[in-house]
Amino acid sequence: MSNGEPTTALAVVLSGASGRMGQAVRACARRESEHYRVVATVGRTDHLSVSVEVGDAVIDFSEASITADLLAACRAHRKPLVIGTTGHDRDQRAAIAEAAAEIPIVFAANFSVGVNTLFWLTREAARILGPSFDLEVIEFHHRRKKDAPSGTARRLGEILAEARALSYDEDIRHGRAGLVGERPGGEIGVHAVRGGDVVGEHTVLFADVGERVELIHRASSRETFAIGALRAAAWLCGRSAGLYDMEDVLGLKNQPPEVRTQK
Ligand code: NAD
């Protein structure tokens, strides 16, 4: 399987470059400089349109509030866009889908190979275990994370909701407090834990009477997200307009993950 790397250095415009993820992307691009070059960075005070113009693709790890401006600049210059930022509301998500009719976009809650395999395993486990198992998602992140639940926990919730023919908006339960009564079968718990410097942990819990299954992913470095975002940018170049996610980039959609010989 191709690892998705370009043969000549891809010119990347990086939004959110001074943040934790932005720094990780810059470090990975420096280390793989024959493949990736960060040619412009976008901060709070930069002129987006000017920066976007000079790249082959744009990668964004900033805040959801900037997405509308990024979409407009990428549409104007017909540039592919990788959105790693999480925490978008319904309107912001709709704007991303609308822009994807004109430009290719990878919008992914998580760029790691491990988490995208977790997405696949979650879908399969929900199908195999069936409706007698209660579904809960628990995520744990560092104290500086601003949005909750994490984009990855949200995606896991969406996958579980889809597998059970439930609605993400109506059937997700964020935490419990007070006299909440017995747990109904048709709900999916999604819980956010915050503390310290935890890069990211996600547990999907399938609990029945007498047994439970737990699928756990632990990230110990942001590098796995950064390299995945760079590969997604390379994968997008030359692709037709559309809304893609990391499962598309890795070829994990609707099929068993291939055995990977190279990370
Ligand atoms: P951070 O707070 O360390 O960095 C955010 C950066 O965005 C900062 O440099 C800030 O100055 C910049 N920024 C904020 N508003 C801006 C604006 N209006 N214009 C330009 N720049 C602006 O956060 P982080 O930990 O790097 O995470 C960034 C985002 O990426 C979050 O939404 C996080 O949830 C998400 N994330 C996604 C993945 C993934 O795999 N998809 C992995 C980790 C983090």
- CA-based max dimension of the chain: 60
Q: What is the predicted pLDDT for the residue at 150?
A: 97
Percentage of the chain with pLDDT > 70? 93
Pair 68, 92: CB distance under 8 Å: yes
Kindly state whether residues 214 and 237 are assigned to the same domain.
no
When pLDDT is averaged across residues 49-53 and rounded to a whole number, the result is 81
| 44 has pLDDT over 80 | no
Cα 177 vs. chain centroid, distance in angstroms?
29
Pair 63, 85: CB distance under 8 Å: yes
The amino acid present at 23, given as its one-letter code, is: Q
- For residue 134, what are the β-bridge partners? 207
Upper half-sphere CA count for residue 193 (Cβ side, 13 Å): 13
Residue 112, exposed/middle/buried by CB under 10 A (0-12, 13-18, 19+)?
buried
Residues 6+ apart with CB under 8 A from 11: 37, 39, 54, 55, 56, 57
- The Å distance, Cα 36 to ligand 1 centre, comes to 20
Q: What is the predicted pLDDT for the residue at 30?
A: 97
Rounded to an integer, what distance in angstroms lies between the CA atom of residue 242 and that of residue 182?
43
Kindly state whether residues 71 and 135 are assigned to the same domain.
no
Kindly state whether residues 189 and 98 are assigned to the same domain.
no
Percent of residues in the chain assigned helix, strand, coil, to nearest 5: 35, 25, 40
Does 255 fall in a domain?
no
Kindly state whether residues 22 and 151 are assigned to the same domain.
no
Does 51 fall in a domain?
yes
Q: What is the predicted pLDDT for the residue at 39?
A: 96
| 101 has pLDDT over 60 | yes
Q: What is the pLDDT of residues 233-261, one digit of tens each?
A: 999 999 999 999 999 999 887 665 555 55
Does 71 fall in a domain?
yes
Q: What is the predicted pLDDT for the residue at 180?
A: 96
Does 237 fall in a domain?
yes
pTM of the shown model: 0.88
| 133 has pLDDT over 60 | yes
Rounded to an integer, what distance in angstroms lies between the CA atom of residue 49 and that of residue 106?
20
Residues 6+ apart with CB under 8 A from 254: none
Kindly state whether residues 134 and 156 are assigned to the same domain.
yes
| 47 has pLDDT over 60 | yes
Does 93 fall in a domain?
yes
The residue to mutate among 18, 21, 83, 197, having the most atoms of ligand 1 within 8 angstroms of its beta carbon, is: 21
Does 43 fall in a domain?
yes
Q: What is the predicted pLDDT for the residue at 263?
A: 45
Residue 92, exposed/middle/buried by CB under 10 A (0-12, 13-18, 19+)?
middle
Question: Residue 157 is part of a domain; what is its CATH number?
Answer: 3.30.360.10
Does 123 fall in a domain?
yes
Q: What is the pLDDT of residues 144-195, one digit of tens each?
A: 999 999 999 999 999 999 999 999 999 999 999 999 999 999 999 999 999 9
Which atom of ligand 1 is nearest the CA belonging to 199? 43
Kindly state whether residues 91 and 152 are assigned to the same domain.
no
Kindly state whether residues 107 and 172 are assigned to the same domain.
no
Pair 192, 87: CB distance under 8 Å: no
Kindly state whether residues 121 and 211 are assigned to the same domain.
yes
Pair 104, 241: CB distance under 8 Å: yes
Does 262 fall in a domain?
no
Rounded to an integer, what distance in angstroms lies between the CA atom of residue 33 and that of residue 5?
11
Domain boundaries, position 101? 10-111+222-250
Question: Residue 63 is part of a domain; what is its CATH number?
Answer: 3.40.50.720
Kindly state whether residues 230 and 211 are assigned to the same domain.
no
Kindly state whether residues 101 and 229 are assigned to the same domain.
yes
Taking the CB of residue 245, how many other CB atoms lie within 10 A of it?
Answer: 20
141 part of the active site = yes
Number of separate domains in the chain: 2
Which atom of ligand 1 is nearest the CA belonging to 64? 32
Kindly state whether residues 56 and 79 are assigned to the same domain.
yes
Q: What is the predicted pLDDT for the residue at 258?
A: 56
When pLDDT is averaged across residues 95-101 and rounded to a whole number, the result is 98
Kindly state whether residues 90 and 215 are assigned to the same domain.
no
Catalytic residue among 141, 191, 202, 217: 141
| 19 has pLDDT over 70 | yes
- The Å distance, Cα 17 to ligand 1 centre, comes to 8
- The Å distance, Cα 18 to ligand 1 centre, comes to 9
The residue to mutate among 41, 46, 63, having the most atoms of ligand 1 within 8 angstroms of its beta carbon, is: 63
Q: Share the mean pLDDT of the chain.
A: 93
